[in-house]
Amino acid sequence: MSDPGAVGGSVTYQRLVHKNSSGFHYMKVSLVFEKEGKRIDGAFFKQLIISALRNVYGEIGAAFPFDVLKFEEKSLTAVLRVYNSGLVKLWSALTLLGSYQNETCAVRVVQVLLPYQYTGGP
């Protein structure tokens, strides 16, 4: 997280430590099916993540909020927003997710962003 700034022709580097004050993390994930052509909508996608969380962490462990901000049905990519405290749990549950309606699938985490890096585009 260094920020280059040109001062008087010579380039100096300034070290910036950014504390994540908003408390959120944004994850860009994509859902990959073994067979092509499977369709799923946003609500089912969220349900899929919730059931994966419940399998791994149970009813108490999975009780933390997260949002699906965007879901593209064409490319099966989504942007998730989660509190910092739930990031590890959500990520591990996504990794361990293995099937949807008896079809083998996987979730690939494309990118994890801090709030100021997230500009709204998928």
Partner 1 sequence: MVRFKSRYLLCEVCVSNPSDLRLLDERAVFFAVKAAVSRAHGDYGTALIGMCFSVKYLNAHTGVVFLRCRKSHYRMLWSALPFISSLESRGQRVPCFFNCLHVGGTIRTCQKFLIRYNTQQLHRLLPRCRSDKERSEVRKAVLSCSLKVFRNDEEEDDEDWGGEEVAE
Q: Which region, judged by CB under 8 A, interacts with partner 1, from 21-29, 58-66, 98-106, 112-120?
A: 58-66
Residue linked to tokens 């490319």: 75
Q: What number of chain residues touch partner 1 (CB under 8 A)?
A: 9
Q: What CA–CA distance (Å, rounded) separates 83 from 61?
A: 14
74-103: contacts with partner 1 (CB under 8 A): none
Given a contact cutoff of 8 angstroms between Cβ atoms, the answer to whether 115 and 24 are in contact is yes
**Is residue 57 near partner 1 by the rule CB under 8 A?**
yes
End-to-end CA distance of the chain: 22
| One residue of 40, 48, 62, 94 binding partner 1 per CB under 8 A | 62
If the CB atoms of residues 58 and 122 are measured against partner 1, the closer one turns out to be 58
CB of 57 to partner 1, least distance (A): 4
Given a contact cutoff of 8 angstroms between Cβ atoms, the answer to whether 89 and 57 are in contact is yes
Q: Which region, judged by CB under 8 A, interacts with partner 1, from 5-13, 60-68, 78-86, 98-106?
A: 60-68
Q: Which residues, in sequence order, are CB contacts of 36 under 8 Å at separation 6+? A: none
If the CB atoms of residues 55 and 117 are measured against partner 1, the closer one turns out to be 55
Q: Which residues, in sequence order, are CB contacts of 88 under 8 Å at separation 6+? A: none
Question: Which residues contact partner 1 (rule: CB under 8 A)?
Answer: 54-62
